[in-house]
Structure 1
Amino acid sequence: MNEERPRTAATRGRGATDDRRTARERPPHGEAARPSSEERTRRRLPRGEREQQIIDCAIQVFARRGYSAASVDDIAEQAGVSKPLVYLYLESKEGLFLACLRREEQRLVAAFQDAAGTGGTSELRLWAGLQAFFGFVADHRDSWAVLHRQAPDLGETIAGEIDRARRTILDEVRKLVLEGIALGPTPTHLGEADADFVAHALVGAADSLTDWMERHPGESPERVTLRLMGMMWVGMQQVLDGEVWVPPESPAAV
């Protein structure tokens, strides 16, 4: 049978010291341990990265609540930063919305240009560009809600940003259509004005079809692009071949 060794004053003091040290190291009941200064430093992001994080969260909040109902407090909370930091980086709610708008329109235009610049015939490049456009809309619903639905109604500055992005894509489409006209199998009277007309029709149809895609989630970007090209480009090819639609003569004129 083992006898318990009596605790000496030294061992009693050491035990008490250990208990006090443990108590100091242990966080209060119900609280997580506070991060060290080293851990806090490691979590700091460079300004550019932090701005992108804030913009990511702002897009989600704007898409979910709308511009008017969204607040900088909501965005700061979702981003895990202070409200003063949002103002320091992006100055105002409108400045934050403009930053969201500019970044997403740049991404959309870049997606179209990169896809349309891959080579091949003008119709294949247009098909690739439109497919990239619809793919962006399908993959970035929150971004498209900000670009397409909210921005046009929020004043001249914001509307001007949207108009600039739209004109960039219009110019790209116009060039491809004009190239298709120039490389047609037969000489044609069609020119720049006709290419501009077709470009507006294509881009306008693409804008409208994004709403249709939301109501038909089973339709893939590839399928939507194929159907649009089938209607618009095939029709243009018929015009290039000399086929022109005219209304039937009215009975009174016969």
Structure 2
Amino acid sequence: MSRAGTKGVSRADRERQIIDVAVEQFGTHGYTRVSVAAVARRAGISKPLIYSYFDSKDGLYLACVHHVGRLLVDSVAAAQIRSGSTDHALDTLSAIFGTVDRCRHAWSVLYDPALPSSGDPHDAAHHYRRQLSAIGAAGTARLLGAAGHDDPLDHDLLNHVWQHAVTAVMRWWYDHPEQSAAEMTDRCARLIGALGAR
């Protein structure tokens, strides 16, 4: 974990360093259990410096949400090469694993259940969640469409199954942090293959 420091560091680099520390703290402890003072201590900087960059705890969390939200949306969107094929689900999971392997707490920051039910951080988190959900829904619709299934309730059910399955997989991974992104991809490939076996 890098410490932010203040000497010889550009504003952009310092902001990124603070966000990296804050993502770790928020992702580990949740929004409600993290203070600006705790982030400052962990980063080795002063509380006033964080306030000068982000104005408030909400401002800091908002910056974290934008950082992890863009990472996840961009990686999942880039994984649509084989969209509509049976490999699409694994491509999507692999993209998520790769992103979370590089930014270990990305998923837990974006999907923090303790996030307040209103305000800018809430709105931003839901904005990225909706984008990820929309990408998933489009993928399941193309998969069913390619198989000749056009029942809207089938589409709705498969989308729900997919969204909850991804959440379950990510929760399992957080309980097994020793698993690498590559190991998670291999594990999911085995499970998807077994589910598809006749």
TM-score, shorter chain, exceeding 0.5:
yes
Shift of 1:56: 0.8
Shift of 1:49: 1.9
Displacement of 1:166 in angstroms is 2.2
* TM-score normalized with structure 2 length: 0.77
Q: Does 1:91 align with 2:51?
A: no
Which amino acid counterpart does residue 194 of structure 1 have in structure 2? D
Larger Rg: 1
Of stretches 127-136 and 157-166 in structure 1, the one that deviates more from structure 2 is 157-166
SS at match of 1:44: coil
1:226 aligns with 2:186: no
Q: Distance in 1 between matches of 2:106 and 2:35?
A: 18
Distance in 2 between residues matched to 1:231 and 1:206, nearest whole Å: 17
Identity percentage of aligned residues: 29
Residue 161 (structure 2) aligned to one of 192, 195, 201:
201
Give the structure, 1 or 2, with the largest relative contact order (CA under 8 Å, sep 6 or more). 2
Letter in 1 for 2:47: K
| Aligned mates of 1:209, 1:64 — CA distance in 2 | 18
CA distance in 1, matches of 2:191, 2:96: 12
Q: Please tell me whether the aligned partners of residues 21 and 43 of structure 2 are also in contact (alpha carbons under 8 angstroms).
A: yes
Q: Deviations over 1:8-35 (max 9, x none)?
A: xxxxxxxxxxxxxxxxxxxxxxxxxxxx
Measured after TM superposition, the shift of residue 213 of structure 1 is 2.2
Q: CA deviation at 1:128?
A: 0.7
| Aligned counterpart for 2:118 among listed residues 127, 132, 156 | 156
RMSD: 2.9
Q: 1:94 Cα deviation (Å)?
A: 1.3
Structure 1 residue identity aligned to 2:142: E
TM-score by length of structure 1 reads 0.62
Listed one character per residue, the Cα deviations across residues 109-145 of structure 1 (whole Å, up to 9, x for unaligned) are 11111122x3475332332112211333355333333
Long gaps (5+) in structure 1: 1-40, 239-254
| Structure 1 residue matching 2:32: 3-state secondary structure | coil
Partner of 2:98: 135
Please give the alpha-carbon distance, in whole angstroms, between the structure 2 residues aligned to 1:81 and 1:167: 35
Residues 35-75 of structure 1: CA distance to partner in whole angstroms, max 9, x if unpaired?
Answer: xxxxxx9x433322221111111122323444334222222
C-alpha distance after superposition, 1:73-123 (max 9, x if no partner): 22223333332221111010111011112211211111111122x347533
> SS of the residue aligned with 2:31?
coil
> Which runs of no fewer than 5 residues in structure 2 stay unpaired?
1-5
Are 1:105 and 2:69 an aligned pair?
Answer: yes
Question: Per-residue displacement from partner, 1:152-205 (whole Å, max 9, x unpaired)?
Answer: 542323333333222212211222222222322xx44x2444323212211211
Q: Which amino acid aligns with 1:195?
A: H
1:59 aligns with 2:17: no
| Number of equivalences | 189
Distance 1:88 1:125, change over 3 A: same
Output the CA distance in 2 between the equivalents of 1:224 and 1:45: 41
2:75/2:99 contact within 8 Å kept: yes
Give the distance between the partners of 1:102 and 1:120, measured in 2 at CA. Answer: 25
Aligned 8 A contact 1:63 1:146 in 2? yes
* AA partner of residue 79 (structure 2): A
Aligned 8 A contact 1:151 1:159 in 2? no
